[in-house]
Each structure stands twice: as C-alpha cells, then as structure tokens.
C-alpha cells in the first residue's frame, strides 16, 4: 500500500532495506546460533547516518521523529529482530537524555550516539521491578559532588555492549515513584560491572545482561532532569519507544509472510504448489491483512506522536499491543505454512516465531499496555 512517503522518508527506507538485504539477512542465522552481538552491522548503520535518525540536528542527528525511526526499524526487523532490537535499544537509552537531560548532558552524549560511535542502553528492570516500574530497589546517595549507586539491574538490552547507560535509582525511597531519579552511568565508571548474560528463546543476537552497581561513583552532573523526576522520565521514554517495538512486529510479520508465500509457491503436494489450495491461501490472506492493518496503525500512531507529543500514551500502547500480537500470530502461521520444514532451522521462520514472543513482553507486557489504554480512556471520557 502507498503511505505517501516523502522523498526523504523513501530514502530512509531504501538505505535500511539495502543494509537489511545485504548485511543483516546473510548473517542472521549465524549470529542467532552463536548468540553474538551485531557490532559490525550497528557500525554500518552508523556509517549510513541512520544511528541518529531521532536525534536533533544540533546534537549531530538527522532531526527526524518517531515516524522516520519506525521506517528504518521496520526494514531491520524484516531481516532480524535480534539485530533490530540491539539498534532500537540505543534509542531507549538516549531518550531519557533527549527528554529530560541538561544541555551539558545532551551536548556531550547525543552526538556520540548519533554518530554510532557509542552505544546506549536503558536500565530500569530489576529482579523485583518489571511491570511494577516504581518498585525499583537500586539506590543513589549524594556524597559531596558525587552520586553513589548500589543495586543490580536485570535483563538490560545492550548490557555489556553499550557505553552509555540511562539508569533509574531511588534517591528518596520514602517518596515512592516520586523518589526515583535517572542518571547517566558510563561503562568505565568505578564500581560498575556486568553480571550474568542471559540465554534466551529468541532475539539471541541481542545482549541481555545484568548491571551491577557496587558503590559506583559518578559526578553529580550526570543526574538526568531533576531529583525525583525519574519515574516520569521513564514513562515518557517508554511512550516514545513503544512504537519502535510495534514496528519490529510489523517488520517481523512481513518477513514471515514473504517466506511463507515464496515457500507456498514452490512446495508441491498432491501434484500442485500448495498455494493453489484454499486452506493455504486463507492462511496467507489473513497474514497479509493483519500485517497491513498493523503497519497502518503503527504509521498512524507514529505520525500522531510526532504531531502531538503530549498526547502519546494511548497511541503508543495501542500500536504496541496490536502489532506485536499480530507478529506472534503471523510468525506462528508462517511455521504452519512451511509445516515440518518450518520447524527446522534450515528455514528462517522458526527463528522468527521465537523472536516474536518477546515483543509481547518487553517494554511493558501487552497486559500492561491494555491497562494504560484503559486508564487513558477513563481520563478521556471524564473530560
Ligand atoms: N507520561 C507522563 N507521566 C506519567 C505517565 C506517562 N506516560 N504514566 C504515568 N505517569 C505519571 C502519573 O501521572 C503519576 O503522576 P502523579 O504522581 O503526579 O499522579 C505517576 O507517573 C505515577 O503513575 P501511576 O500511578 O500510573 O504509576 P503506577 O506505578 O501505577 O504504574 C504503569 C503505571 C503500570 C503504567 C507503569 O508502571 C508501567 O508502564 N509499567 C511497565 C514498565 C515496563 O515497561 N517495564 C518493562 C521494562 S522497561 S524496558
């Protein structure tokens, strides 16, 4: 379908498409198998000037918005969601600085992320704080002109690979959500180390690792925003990043549909290509309808977010739920179309199905998204 992209947007798609076809697809199975971080590919994305798509020009970025980012991510995810996640996690790590950081922090860190020279990560989750984002136990205490962090973050995407970490910690625990503050921690900071690296069902090219803060000392100026403003910064960051997860679902579903149609045209059973059977055609038709509907919703949500950045929670959660549920269904059906071959590692669809599951879980489960949508509806109808 024609989404009436501008010339610049079409160019973003073409550059991302080329990286996907020439670089990502040829090595995705190997990186998945070896659970290897896609450093070369991220560097190539940086060299193609796509690393700072969503960062303002004054900080060395392209100056685009959510929609521009979505267009690039869709292509990368068509190739591999593990690689696309590693790229997207830079944005998640950068957004707290973009949204709440001081000019000093922005001037220092954003150009490094925009050029692709440094990778970023976002550290919220802990053993006892997942959906309940305000339940974090990592602490930060001011000591002279330094903050001292103690605690452990878990399941951090780009953990161990990123250089710049946006970390939330409790500065005033008795204040609950209002007592949380965000900081920038650098990989070389004293008292900061990496813990367990997870072995995952899918997105195995992405790194998911513990971060350990043991009397980790950082300069006072690394505080993002204001003391006590961390929870709101986290919520706003997730509002910005969830359309990115949604579009990973669209790209993944498109990749699975492509594989299923090509296979169905080639595979002969009962003397005919299986695409000539109505049972297979209906499966493919539903996959195509759902993928296009998800794309249309994500594009609409991303354009809405760029135009109305203060009213984004509902649009962001709606597209995240819909597109990631579609990705799970479409990839599962792609395996069904390929049958026994689909279950084997010789074809990419089993990986696609494994990769799809996390999209319904990370950056807020789809159950949490429905809570957000419900709460927003409640507010809207009170006006
Ligand atoms: N933008 C701005 N402010 C927001 C906000 C948003 N999107 N969402 C909440 N807030 C504000 C609220 O207005 C409230 O402010 P006041 O204290 O002034 O009233 C404050 O934040 C607390 O909000 P709330 O009471 O709704 O917080 P809850 O603890 O009930 O949590 C959910 C709300 C469940 C939505 C939140 O914890 C969440 O998003 N959880 C999922 C986290 C997640 O995605 N984890 C995955 C790992 S991160 S990769």
pLDDT in tens, 104-160: 999 999 999 999 999 999 999 999 999 999 899 999 999 999 999 999 999 999 999
Q: Indicate whether residue 129 lines ligand 1 (CB < 6 A).
A: no
What's the mean pLDDT in 74-103? 98
Q: Last residue of some domain: 170, 197, 228?
A: 228
Q: Indicate whether residue 364 lines ligand 1 (CB < 6 A).
A: yes
CA distances from 108 to 32, 93, 98, 287 (A): 34, 14, 12, 45
Does any domain span residue 2? no
CATH code for position 364: 1.20.140.10
Q: Indicate whether residue 363 lines ligand 1 (CB < 6 A).
A: yes
Q: Last residue of some domain: 228, 244, 265?
A: 228
Q: What is the pLDDT of residue 383?
A: 72
> In the chain, what percentage of residues exceed pLDDT 90?
98
Gap from CA of 377 to ligand 1 centroid (Å): 15
For 164, the 3-state DSSP assignment is strand
Query: Residue 218 sits in which domain range?
Result: 120-228
* Enclosing H/E stretch for 151: strand 146-157
Clarify whether residues 243 and 364 are in a common domain. Answer: yes
DSSP string, 259-325: HHHHHHHH-EETTEEGGGSHHHHHHHHHHHHHHHHHHHHHHHHHHHHHH-TTS-HHHHHHHHHHHHH
Q: Is the pLDDT of residue 301 over 90?
A: yes
Work out which ligand 1 atom sits closest to the CA atom of 177: 22
Does any domain span residue 1? no
Clarify whether residues 151 and 200 are in a common domain. Answer: yes
CATH code for position 149: 2.40.110.10
For 200-258, write each residue's pLDDT tens digit.
999 999 999 999 999 999 999 999 999 999 999 999 999 999 999 999 999 999 999 99
Q: What is the pLDDT of residue 350?
A: 98
CB 187 within 8 A of CB 165: yes
Clarify whether residues 246 and 200 are in a common domain. Answer: no
Clarify whether residues 272 and 343 are in a common domain. Answer: yes
What's the mean pLDDT in 29-33? 98
Q: Which entry of 161, 259, 363, 380 is annotated as an active-site residue?
A: 363
Residue nearest to atom 10 of ligand 1 (CA): 232
């Amino acid at each position: 379908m024609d989404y009436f992209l501008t010339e610049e947007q079409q160019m973003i798609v073409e550059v991302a498409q080329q990286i996907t076809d020439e670089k990502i697809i040829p090595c995705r199975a190997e990186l998945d198998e070896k659970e290897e971080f896609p450093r070369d590919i991220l560097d190539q994305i940086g060299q193609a000037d796509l690393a700072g798509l969503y960062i303002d020009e004054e900080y060395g970025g392209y100056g685009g918005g959510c929609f521009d980012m979505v267009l690039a991510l869709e292509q990368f995810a068509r190739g591999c969601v593990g690689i696309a996640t590693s790229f997207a996690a830079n944005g998640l790590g950068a957004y707290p600085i973009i949204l709440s950081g001081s000019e000093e922090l922005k001037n220092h860190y954003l150009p490094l992320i925009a050029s692709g020279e440094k990778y970023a990560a976002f550290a919220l989750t802990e053993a006892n704080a997942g959906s309940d984002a305000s339940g974090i136990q990592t602490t930060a205490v001011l000591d002279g002109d330094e903050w001292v962090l103690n605690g452990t973050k878990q399941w951090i995407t780009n953990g161990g690979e990123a250089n710049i970490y946006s970390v939330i910690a409790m500065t005033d625990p008795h204040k609950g959500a209002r007592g949380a503050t965000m900081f920038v921690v650098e990989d070389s900071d004293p008292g900061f180390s990496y813990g367990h690296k997870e072995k995952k069902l899918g997105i195995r090219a992405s790194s998911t690792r513990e971060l350990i803060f043991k009397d980790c000392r950082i300069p006072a100026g690394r505080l993002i925003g204001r003391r006590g403003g961390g929870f709101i910064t986290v919520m706003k960051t997730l509002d910005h990043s969830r359309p990115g997860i949604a579009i990973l679902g669209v790209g993944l579903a498109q990749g699975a549909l492509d594989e299923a149609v090509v296979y169905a045209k080639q595979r002969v059973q009962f003397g005919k290509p299986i695409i000539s059977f109505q049972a297979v055609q209906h499966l493919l038709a539903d996959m195509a309808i759902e993928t296009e509907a998800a794309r249309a919703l994500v594009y609409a949500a991303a354009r809405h977010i760029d135009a109305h950045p203060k009213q984004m929670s509902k649009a962001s959660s709606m597209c995240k739920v819909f597109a990631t549920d579609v990705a799970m269904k479409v990839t599962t059906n792609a395996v069904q179309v390929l049958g026994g071959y689909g279950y084997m590692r010789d074809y990419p669809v089993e990986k696609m199905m494994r990769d799809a599951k996390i999209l319904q879980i990370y950056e807020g489960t789809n159950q949490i998204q429905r809570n957000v949508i419900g709460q927003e509806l409640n507010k809207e109808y009170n006006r």
